[in-house]
Structure 1
Amino acid sequence: MKMVKKNINVKMTEEKSKLIRKKAFERFVAFVFVAGVMIFASPMTTFAATGGGAAVTAGLGSLQELVLAFVSAIGMILCAWGIGEWGISTSSQDGTTQASALKRIGGGIVMVLAPQILATLV
C-alpha cells in the first residue's frame, strides 16, 4: 500500500506543482481583493466609548484615502502605459496587442475613477 502512494507522489511533475502554486496565489489575490473591498467600501462604524470613536474612524478614514490615492496613481500609470502601447501597436496592425492595450487603458480608467465609484456606491 505504501508503495502505491509513493509512486503517485513521484508522478507529480514540476509543472503540476507550479500550476497548483499559481492557482493558490490567484485565490490569495482574489481573497485580498474581496477583503479590501469589504473593508473600504463598507461604512465604518465603531462601538467605542463616547469620544474615542472619532479618533478610530478618523484614522481609518485617512488609511482609506491613502489606499484610494495609491490605486488612482497606479491607474494613471496603467492608462499612460496602455496609451503608449496602443500607439505602438497601431503601426504593426496586430489586433491582439491593440486589444490588450485597449483593455489596459480601460482598466487604468476604472482604477483612476475608483474613489468616485466607491463614493457613488456608498
Structure 2
Amino acid sequence: MFAMTAMQTFTGEHTKLIIQRYIGNMTEDHLYWANSFVRKGAHVVAFGLLALVFYKAIRKRTIGYALCCTLLAAMLDEWHQSFVPDRSASFRDVMLDTLAGLLFLLGAAKFRGRNEKAKDGIMTKSS
C-alpha cells in the first residue's frame, strides 16, 4: 500500500485525467464528485480488505486488534503521503479508512456467525 501511495499514478490529478479520458465531457462539479467517489471508494476497499487480513493474521482473531492495526496502517499511510510530492495527509482519510475497516470486520463477523449457526443447525438435525 505504501508503494502505491508513493506513485504518481495514484494522485488525485491523475485519477481525474483517467475519468476524463474514459467518461468524456463532464462539468467540473461532476468531475469533482466522480473523482472523489473513485478515490474514496478505493480507500474503503483497500482498508476494508486490509482489516480482514489483519483479522485473519492475528491469532486471537478479535475485531479490536484488527481495527487497531488498521488504524495504525491508515495513520502511517497518511504520514507517508505527507512526504510524497503532489500528495497530502488527511485526518479525514484516516477516519474513512478506519471506518471502512470496522464495517468490513463487522460484516465478516456477522457472516461468520451466520455460518456457525447454519453448521450447528445441520449438525443438530442430523444427530
Question: TM-score by structure 1 length?
Answer: 0.35
TM-score in terms of structure 2 length? 0.34
